[in-house]
C-alpha cells in the first residue's frame, strides 16, 4: 500500500522567520520564529515566462523561467509580532502600533501545512515579502461575521542557492518533525564523485 497522500486539504501551522541579515554570497540569517494562528486560506500562483525558439520549421527549444510565486494569505487577525518584525511597524511607549510610510518590509521564510489522507504535507518558502492588509469591518447584525485580513505574499528564489520552495510529507523524516524549529529547514544534498561521496547542508 502506498504511503503517499492521494489528496490534501485544509491549512494550518503558518510560521514565519524574519530574515535579519544576508551574507555577501546571499545566505540568510533568521530571527525568532513567529506563529501565525487563524490561517484561513493560502493562494500562491507560480510566476515565470516561457521562452520559445523555432528552427527547422518546428519548436526547436523552450524554457520556463522560475520567478517564484505570488498571491495572498488570509488569516483571522494579523499578529502584532508580524506587524512589527516583518512590516516594521512601531510600537510606542503606550503600546500603540504605528505604521510609518517610510518603513520598508523585512523579507522572511514562511512554512505551513495541508492535511492529507495519510500525512500532513509541510511546505516552506525560503524568501518572501508581504504587503499591508486592508482595513475594514461592518456593522454587527443578528449574527457575528468575523473579519478576515488578506496579506499579499511574494515568494522569490533565495540569493545564495536559488531555492524557492521545499515540501515534505514523509512523517518518518527528521525534517518533517523539525519543520517548525528555530530556523527554517536547510536542504541536505549528497554529491557523488569518482573519488568520494560528500554530504553538505545547503547554503553552507
With respect to residue 193, please indicate whether it lies within any of the assigned structural domains: yes
pLDDT at site 140: 87
pLDDT at site 188: 86
With respect to residue 1, please indicate whether it lies within any of the assigned structural domains: no
pLDDT at site 57: 87
pLDDT, tens only, 85-120: 999 999 999 999 999 999 999 999 999 999 999 999
With respect to residue 73, please indicate whether it lies within any of the assigned structural domains: yes
Q: Residue 68 above 80 pLDDT?
A: yes
Highest mean pLDDT among 11-25, 55-69, 134-148: 11-25
| Sequence-separated (6 or more) residues with CB below 8 Å from residue 29 | 19, 20, 21, 22, 23
Strand partners of residue 14: 36
Q: Which domain holds residue 162?
A: 8-201
Q: Is 182 exposed, middle or buried (0-12, 13-18, 19+ CB in 10 A)?
A: exposed
Cα–Cα dist 153/128, whole Å: 7
| Count of helix runs (H) and strand runs (E) in the chain | 2, 15
Whose cell is 514562511? That residue is: 110
With respect to residue 125, please indicate whether it lies within any of the assigned structural domains: yes
The pLDDT-based confidence of 186 (bands split at 50, 70, 90) is very high
- Tell me the whole-structure pTM to 2 decimals: 0.86
With respect to residue 14, please indicate whether it lies within any of the assigned structural domains: yes
pLDDT at site 166: 97
- Per the structure, the count of domains in the chain is 1
With respect to residue 2, please indicate whether it lies within any of the assigned structural domains: no
**What's the whole-number mean pLDDT along residues 112-138?**
95
Closest CA to 112 of 51, 23, 36, 49: 36
With respect to residue 3, please indicate whether it lies within any of the assigned structural domains: no
With respect to residue 51, please indicate whether it lies within any of the assigned structural domains: yes
pLDDT, tens only, 7-53: 999 999 999 999 999 999 999 999 999 999 999 999 999 999 888 88
Amino acid at each position: 500500500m502506498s504511503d503517499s497522500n492521494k489528496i490534501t486539504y485544509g491549512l494550518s501551522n503558518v510560521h514565519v522567520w524574519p530574515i535579519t541579515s544576508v551574507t555577501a554570497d546571499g545566505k540568510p540569517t533568521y530571527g525568532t520564529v513567529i506563529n501565525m494562528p487563524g490561517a484561513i486560506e493560502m493562494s500562491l500562483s507560480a510566476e515565470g515566462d516561457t521562452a520559445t525558439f523555432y528552427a527547422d520549421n518546428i519548436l526547436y527549444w523552450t524554457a520556463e523561467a522560475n520567478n517564484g510565486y505570488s498571491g495572498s494569505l488570509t488569516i483571522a487577525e494579523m499578529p502584532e509580532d508580524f506587524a512589527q518584525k516583518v512590516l516594521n511597524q512601531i510600537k510606542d511607549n503606550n503600546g500603540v502600533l504605528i505604521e510609518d510610510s517610510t518603513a520598508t518590509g523585512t523579507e522572511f521564510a514562511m512554512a505551513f501545512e495541508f492535511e492529507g489522507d495519510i500525512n500532513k504535507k509541510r511546505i516552506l518558502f525560503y524568501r518572501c515579502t508581504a504587503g499591508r492588509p486592508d482595513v475594514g469591518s461592518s456593522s454587527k447584525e443578528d449574527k457575528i461575521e468575523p473579519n478576515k485580513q488578506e496579506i499579499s505574499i511574494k515568494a522569490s528564489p533565495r540569493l545564495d542557492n536559488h531555492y524557492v520552495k521545499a515540501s515534505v510529507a514523509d512523517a518518518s523524516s527528521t525534517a518533517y518533525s523539525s519543520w517548525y524549529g528555530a530556523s527554517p529547514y536547510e536542504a541536505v544534498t549528497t554529491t557523488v564523485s569518482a573519488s568520494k561521496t560528500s554530504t553538505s547542508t545547503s547554503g553552507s
